[in-house]
Amino acid sequence: MSDMLSAAFVTVFIATVIAQAMPLMLAAVGETLGEQAGVLNLGIEGVMLVGAYTGFVVTLTTGSFWIGMLGGAIGGVAANLAMLILNVWLGLNQIVIGLAITLIGEGITSVLYLQNYTKSPASLGQQPKLTLPGLSDIPVIGQALFQQSGIFWICILLTLGLAFALARTNWGLSTRSAGQKPSSLDAAGGSVMRTRSMAVLLSGALAGLGGAYLSLLTTATFSPFLTNGLGFIAIVITMLSRGRILVVMITSLVYGLAVAVGPALQVVGFTVPADIIKMLPFIIVIVMLIVFARSSVVPPALGAPYTRGAR
Amino acid sequence: MKPTGSAPRLAQGLVRSVVPVLLALLVSGLIMLAIGAHPLDFFAGVWKYGITGSNWQRSLSLMSPLLIVAIGLIVAFRGQLWNLGYNGQYLLGAVVASGLGPMLFAVMPAFLATIIVFIVAILAGAVWSLIPALLKARYGTNEIITSLVMSFIAVGVVNLLIKGVFKDPGTSTPQTTVIPDTDLLPYIPGTEIHIGFVLAIVLAIVAQYVLSRTSFGLRVDIFGASPKAARHMGLNSTWMVILLFALSSGLIAFAGSIDILGQFSYQRADWDPRYGDAVMPLVFLARFRPVAAIPFVAFYAVLATGGTLASQQAGLNVDFLLVIVGLILLFMTVTEYIGERRRLGQSYLPPGLRRSLPVPLRAESERTPV
């Protein structure tokens, strides 16, 4: 018991929770923006992988994690362009396009990674170094919280900013109306296409950021199929949070806790099979879905392409 | 504008189904060039290792699980239920065969054991689909997500089983006991294709008949086109969701057990062929018709059989097949769009399915006052 509560252990535990929660949070915030605007992106798994891979490659070549994160965001936007053009503009089936993006994202990142980085593993060696410009390392147990990289804080600020913008600004209102009743947005003089396009691009950038956070900060390396279903968990969290970004943040933390418990138990001496650790988040998600089944609500116009004047 | 004769309609359907595949192959070739691989080597390899010599027999053997997965997906998709938990359902069926199989074969005649394995596999798949089905039926929870999450859990359960109770004590690697050749499904005389192939073809024909020529098939289509209309007709939508999910998931699990008993004879931990991912676009191209799925599945079986070796030769990874499949999906929607524009013929999907997202059953009745 004394082992469990030692300061170092708690520090590591909290750091793990945050490291696991952040990629999911960013992706789920992105998915929330898209869904609120009426676009369900099932391709988020692929978008995250593309972001993770581009972030990894850019960091490897430039040596800067900041530029790497930016690269991840750009990669995410690029991957989501297919959704923008085919679904928002042409009004094609979201499910099919989303799955196509996931499959292509999984396939191409795996092929490229295995082609470029397995033959020369030397280049991998320099990657896992993490620079942590400590913002404040004064608190005792809060070391875990306040010795994060600046990227962590930027991501938190970005999320809080989006939470405010979605709930309180004109932009947020038009985004939500594009998902609730696009025709009313149209009637009020707004452009459904522009609003949705903006939301989809932002959503891609955030999912890409989430992927890059995963490969750069959480695992500090890329591997094929790195996300392992994280994108789909992000969709579940989005459904359960009903468009409230603060709820997304809290649910992501719960997920982080669930993932961190496995390794923590191992430190204490319980050996938990790796398969159970992998399964745990999904079990928690399905339990959450069963318990909160009534409250998983999506916007009415979700998935419906908007055609002006069509009934 | 609608063509009346069956011959031109067939021709147009063929064009609109084949064009996406050709475009996807073309673009995947360009992608290969872009990343420094050799597309010609790849496609030549696919031909060589997928068809020539006795390789066509391997392709046909692969067809049997693929085709049964396709039928399973068609059953659910026709009812507008997006069962995407296929990977887990498939592995569950496979582990029943590879884990329970050796125990049963040891104590009873192979024929009886095979039948029991099939039944247990189908039941395992059906039971696994209950949670997504119930959540969908009761609360309108999006079944895409729930079935996917259940699939990830199934993959974990299967790995635990293979590393635990079903592990072959004779080897150090986590895998199940190898089933002796004499107990596996017999070959079609004169070939090395197991009878699972015949089973799959028969199943496709039966499914085609049931879905297009019986009242049950009509009910599924009505339910898929509009759950509200189905309710007015007196269909019990809760049962429909549960039944379709159980059928779909059971069939996919059945495919897994056939693959083990027909081809692999044992199962390793972390093995996941992800057949469903590849089959899904084919099912759309076949417009949810089981018999029409046969040629598409045959095409993919050759691509996958030859592609495994061919991709290595072309300097690629097998995961490139995922890219090809994804491109087929993309070009399918684009071809569909252009076809719709030019009214070249019927859509891939019945009208009710063209609305892209399944509307939650319960929520719909609450939200849209009639």
CB contacts, 8 Å: B156 with chain A: 275-276, 278-279, 282
| Per-residue pLDDT at A306 exceeds 80 | no
Residue A105's CB: how many other CB atoms inside 10 A? Answer: 31
Given an 8 Å threshold on Cβ–Cβ distance, is B356 in contact with A303?
yes
| Per-residue pLDDT at A284 exceeds 60 | yes
| Encoded tokens for B219 | 């009910």
Q: Classify domain B10-367 by CATH number.
A: 1.10.3470
Q: Distance, in angstroms, between B192 CA and closest chain A CA?
A: 31
CB contacts, 8 Å: B144 with chain A: 42, 95
| Per-residue pLDDT at B317 exceeds 70 | yes
| Encoded tokens for B221 | 């289509």
Q: Distance, in angstroms, between B242 CA and closest chain A CA?
A: 16
**A161 or A87, higher pLDDT:** A161
| Per-residue pLDDT at A16 exceeds 50 | yes
| Per-residue pLDDT at A131 exceeds 70 | no
The amino acid at residue A246 is: L
Domain regions of chain A by residue span: 2-119+148-295
Per-residue pLDDT tens over the stretch A214-228: 988 888 788 888 888
Given an 8 Å threshold on Cβ–Cβ distance, is B144 in contact with A289?
no
Q: DSSP string covering chain A, please?
A: -HHHH-HHHHHHHHHHHHHHHHHHHHHHHHHHHHHHTT---TTHHHHHHHHHHHHHHHHHHH--HHHHHHHHHHHHHHHHHHHIIIIIIT---HHHHHHHHHHHHHHHHHHHHHHHHSS-THHHHTTT------S---SSTTHHHHSS-HHHHHHHHHHHHHHHHHHHSHHHHHHHHHHH-HHHHHHTT--HHHHHHHHHHHHHHHHHHHHHHIIIIISSS--TTTTTTHHHHHHHHHHHHTT-HHHHHHHHHHHHHHHHHHHHHHHHT----HHHHHHHHHHHHHHHHHHTGGG----TTTT----TT--
Cα–Cα distance measured from residue B301 to residue B63, given in angstroms and rounded to the nearest whole number: 6
Mean pLDDT of A73-101: 89
Which range, of A7-16, A73-82, B213-222, B287-296, averages the lowest pLDDT?
Answer: A7-16
> What is the predicted pLDDT for the residue at A295?
64
Cα–Cα distance measured from residue B290 to residue B296, given in angstroms and rounded to the nearest whole number: 10
Best of A84, A228, A289, A297 to disrupt the B interface (most B CBs within 10 Å) is A289
> Contact A245/A163 with Cβ under 8 angstroms?
yes
Give rounded-to-5 percent helix, strand, coil for chain B.
75, 0, 25
Given an 8 Å threshold on Cβ–Cβ distance, is A103 in contact with B325?
yes
C-alpha distances (whole Å) from B84 to each of A149, B256, B358 are 38, 15, 13
**A86 or B10, higher pLDDT:** A86
- Please give the interface size between A and B, counted as residue pairs whose CB atoms are below 8 Å apart: 154
Mean pLDDT of A175-185: 88
Pick from A40, A96, A296: which is nearest to B333 by CB?
A96
| Per-residue pLDDT at A137 exceeds 60 | no
Per-residue pLDDT tens over the stretch B179-193: 988 888 889 888 889
Picking from B156, B151, B94, the residue whose alpha carbon sits closest to that of residue B122 is: B94
Q: DSSP string covering B82-114, please?
A: ----HHHHHHHHHHIIIIIHHHHHHHS-HHHHH
Per-residue pLDDT tens over the stretch A50-72: 999 999 898 888 877 888 899 99
| Per-residue pLDDT at A268 exceeds 80 | no
| Per-residue pLDDT at A3 exceeds 60 | no
Query: B82 to chain A: nearest residue by CA?
Result: A95
> What is the predicted pLDDT for the residue at A142?
53
> What is the predicted pLDDT for the residue at A46?
95
**A71 or A309, higher pLDDT:** A71
The amino acid at residue A178 is: A
Residue B266, classed as helix, strand or coil, is coil
| Per-residue pLDDT at B4 exceeds 60 | no
Cα–Cα distance measured from residue B344 to residue A274, given in angstroms and rounded to the nearest whole number: 53
Pick from B36, B317, B327: which is nearest to A114 by CB?
B317
DSSP B170: T
Those residues with Cβ within 8 angstroms of residue A128's Cβ, 6 or more apart along the chain or in another chain: A220, A221
pLDDT cut 70: percent of chain B above it: 90
Picking from A151, A133, A291, the residue whose alpha carbon sits closest to that of residue A212 is: A151
CB contacts, 8 Å: A104 with chain B: 322-323, 326-327, 330
> Contact B259/B101 with Cβ under 8 angstroms?
no
Q: Classify domain A2-119+148-295 by CATH number.
A: 1.10.3470.10
Q: Distance, in angstroms, between A142 CA and closest chain B CA?
A: 34
Pick from B36, B149, B277: which is nearest to A285 by CB?
B149
Given an 8 Å threshold on Cβ–Cβ distance, is A273 in contact with B160?
yes
The amino acid at residue A79 is: A
Per-residue pLDDT tens over the stretch B106-141: 999 999 999 999 999 999 999 999 999 999 988 888
| Burial class of residue A178 in the structure, from the number of CB atoms within 10 Å of its CB (0-12 exposed, 13-18 middle, 19+ buried) | buried
Mean pLDDT of A235-241: 85
**B255 or B269, higher pLDDT:** B255
> What is the predicted pLDDT for the residue at A297?
65
**A309 or A233, higher pLDDT:** A233
Pick from A235, A275, A300: which is nearest to B145 by CB?
A235
CB contacts, 8 Å: B320 with chain A: 107, 111
| Per-residue pLDDT at B194 exceeds 70 | yes
Per-residue pLDDT tens over the stretch B28-76: 999 999 988 888 889 999 999 988 888 899 999 999 999 999 999 999 9
Q: Label residue A146 by pLDDT band (50, 70, 90).
A: low
Mean pLDDT of A8-27: 86
Given an 8 Å threshold on Cβ–Cβ distance, is B356 in contact with A100?
no
Q: Label residue A120 by pLDDT band (50, 70, 90).
A: low
> Looking up tokens 């063509």, which residue turns up?
B3
Q: Distance, in angstroms, between A294 CA and closest chain B CA?
A: 6
| Per-residue pLDDT at A85 exceeds 70 | yes
Q: Label residue B342 by pLDDT band (50, 70, 90).
A: low
Q: Label residue A79 by pLDDT band (50, 70, 90).
A: very high
> What is the predicted pLDDT for the residue at B214?
93
Q: DSSP string covering B297-321, please?
A: HHHHHHHHHHHHHHHHHTT--TTHH
Cα–Cα distance measured from residue B262 to residue B258, given in angstroms and rounded to the nearest whole number: 6
Q: Distance, in angstroms, between B96 CA and closest chain A CA?
A: 18
Residue B287's CB: how many other CB atoms inside 10 A? Answer: 17
CB contacts, 8 Å: A294 with chain B: 139
> What is the predicted pLDDT for the residue at B93?
96
Q: Phi first, then psi: give them for residue A226, nearest 5 degrees.
A: -55, -40
Given an 8 Å threshold on Cβ–Cβ distance, is B326 in contact with A303?
no
Query: A115 to chain B: nearest residue by CA?
Result: B316
Alpha-carbon dihedral of residues B4, B5, B11, B14, nearest 10 degrees? 60
> What is the predicted pLDDT for the residue at A104?
94
> What is the predicted pLDDT for the residue at A95?
81
> What is the predicted pLDDT for the residue at A296?
62
| Per-residue pLDDT at B353 exceeds 70 | no
Cα–Cα distance measured from residue B179 to residue B258, given in angstroms and rounded to the nearest whole number: 13
Given an 8 Å threshold on Cβ–Cβ distance, is A108 in contact with B31?
yes
> What is the predicted pLDDT for the residue at A124?
37
- Helix or strand run (H / E) with residue B214: none
Given an 8 Å threshold on Cβ–Cβ distance, is A283 in contact with B153?
yes
| Per-residue pLDDT at B354 exceeds 80 | no
> What is the predicted pLDDT for the residue at A245?
92
Q: Distance, in angstroms, between B35 CA and closest chain A CA?
A: 8
Cα–Cα distance measured from residue A201 to residue A213, given in angstroms and rounded to the nearest whole number: 18
Pick from A112, A286, A297: which is nearest to B150 by CB?
A286
Mean pLDDT of A131-147: 52
Cα–Cα distance measured from residue A210 to residue A255, given in angstroms and rounded to the nearest whole number: 15
The rounded radius of gyration (Å) of the Cα atoms in chain B is 21
